[in-house]
Amino acid sequence: MSKADLIVGLQWGDEGKGKIVDHMAQTHDYVCRFAGGHNAGHTIVIDGKEYALHLIPSGVLNPDAKNIVGNGVVLSPEDFIEEMKQFGTLEGRLFLSDKAHILLPYHAQIDQAKERLKGDKAIGTTGKGIGPAYADKIARVGHRLGELRHPEKLATKITEYFEINAAIFEAMGVETPDYETLLADLRRYKEALEPFICDTTQLMWEILSDDKKVLLEGAQGTMLDIDHGTYPYVTSSTTVSAGACAGLGISPKDIGTVTGIAKAYCTRVGNGPFPSEDLGEAGDRLRKNGHEFGTTTGRPRRCGWFDAVAMRHAVRINGVDRVALMKLDVLDGFEEIKVCVAYEFEGKRIDYVPYDLEEVTPIYETYEGWRSTKGIRTFDELPEKAKHYIASLEAMIGAPIEIISTSPEREDTIVRGS
């Protein structure tokens, strides 16, 4: 019986999980997604060819690996089919849970309409329909991939749903799908996806029993988790490691090493609290050096300093065994580097994440910068000041930093102790 290795984001997403997942996917038999939808995204370049991954697990880039999309995911057939086109046949290498929920174009319309109506209170979602698809699931009016096996039945149910909610949808400006078009779309989805739809829970149990090497790939980050993030400015799924169990039908005892991914600084897209955000020159410089623009939406990311308080929270919630610290080289050339070490909250210094992060003021410590870490591949070669920065973060967050990334290149990665 093997245990599954797990990768989770420790900040607000975009930590650079792609590079580590891609690296680890080379040595795993199965790569599995457990939550989120096509709101996530990373680009991987192999032999000069660019691949954009949103929902297909990164194992697709290792010809020997197989890929599972678990029940915790919301899947847009339209976007998934488009994403599949980048690859040759995936038969025998891709398994989609019959219990994953279907995200349809009207979910995106609802998402965008709600954001519009919220005005300056908008969450800043990706507009992909993630929230409405999960809302339907929880309200028990969603549809699962298994239902694609019977398109007529599914088209009828969706049409009835629109009839019941006609007044609401009309007020929001959401179009009622035309029955014939809807049915034709569902038939097309069935044809493209049915060969991959199966009971992935059973499959997970089998592969773990067969001692396969299994990698669980998280999406987004801990601070965007529906329960443990900066609610309501969060995504609509469980992004923390516990979500891997519910989202794939495995038990906590099936989880092995948990690798948490964090950037050497911090970013966030969308609205909501971000205590260590830097709205000045330093933030601009981080954005420019780190190419901090969204993969899915192209939006500029908000940038700021490493938040050790939020990170300690994330390390504990996820049961992180080791941290991969990404984009260390983006801090190259800064004279001073700040780290948020505590918050001021209601006149007191606190070292935990309170109910409302909006109410805190960051307390910083300042570290001396270094010239360059770009492309360094061994820990010993790092400038002393960078080593000191890393050691200080480790002491604050309560987990070892075992992997350090010093450029986007696959090889420019320090793995300590190897």
The burial of 138, by beta-carbon neighbours within 10 Å (0-12 exposed, 13-18 middle, 19 or more buried), is given as exposed
Q: Which stretch binds ligand IMP (CB under 6 A): 68-76, 229-237, 326-334, 380-388?
A: 229-237
Q: Where are the alpha helices (DSSP H) in 85-237?
A: 105-118, 130-138, 151-164, 166-172, 179-193, 200-209
Q: Is 363 left (phi over 0), alpha (psi -120 to 50) or beta?
A: beta
Choice between 17 and 312, CB closer to ligand IMP? 17
How far is the C-alpha of 298 from the C-alpha of 292, rounded, in Å? Answer: 9
Nearest distance, CB of residue 142 and ligand IMP, angstroms: 15
Q: In whole angstroms, give the CA distance from residue 283 to residue 184.
A: 48
Structure tokens at 257: 């090493």
* Interacting residues of 348 by C-beta distance below 8 A, sequence separation 6+: none
Alpha helix (H) ranges present in 42-98?
Answer: 77-84
Segment interacting with ligand IMP, rule: CB under 6 A, options 77-85, 88-96, 230-238, 256-264: 230-238
Hey, what amino acid is at 312? R
Provide, rounded to whole angstroms, the least separation between the CB of residue 160 and ligand IMP. 26
Q: Which residue among 14, 79, 111, 225 is the active-site one?
A: 14
Choice from 5, 6, 11, 13 touching ligand IMP (CB under 6 A): 13
The reply on whether position 217 binds ligand IMP by CB under 6 A is no
Structure-token pair, residue 225: 């988790």
Residue 42 known to be catalytic: yes
Asked if 236 is part of the footprint of ligand IMP (rule: CB under 6 A), the reply reads yes
Site string for ligand IMP, 131-170 (x = CB under 6 A): x---------------------------------------
Tell me which residue of 304, 283, 302 sits closest to 294, measured CA to CA. 302
Candidate segments 126-134, 135-143, 148-156, 182-190, binder of ligand IMP by CB under 6 A? 126-134
Q: Is 284 marked active-site? A: no
In terms of Cα–Cα distance, which of 154, 226, 143 is closest to 185? 154
Other CB atoms within 10 Å distance of the CB of residue 380:
8
Task: List the x/- string, 268-287, binding to ligand IMP by CB under 6 A.
Answer: -xx-----------------
Amino acid identity at 122 = A
- Which of 38, 42, 101, 143 is catalytic? The answer is 42
Q: Are strands 197-198 and 94-97 parallel, antiparallel or unpaired?
A: parallel
Cα separation of 83 and 81, whole Å? 5
Shortest spacing between CB 324 and ligand IMP, in angstroms: 17
Quick check: 224 binds ligand IMP (CB under 6 A)? yes
Binding mask 242-271 for ligand IMP (x = CB under 6 A): ---------------------------xx-
Between 203 and 353, whose beta carbon lies closer to ligand IMP? Answer: 353
- Residues annotated as part of the active site: 14, 42
Please report, as ranges, the residues that interact with ligand IMP according to CB under 6 A: 13-14, 39-40, 123-126, 128, 130-131, 220, 224, 233, 235-236, 269-270
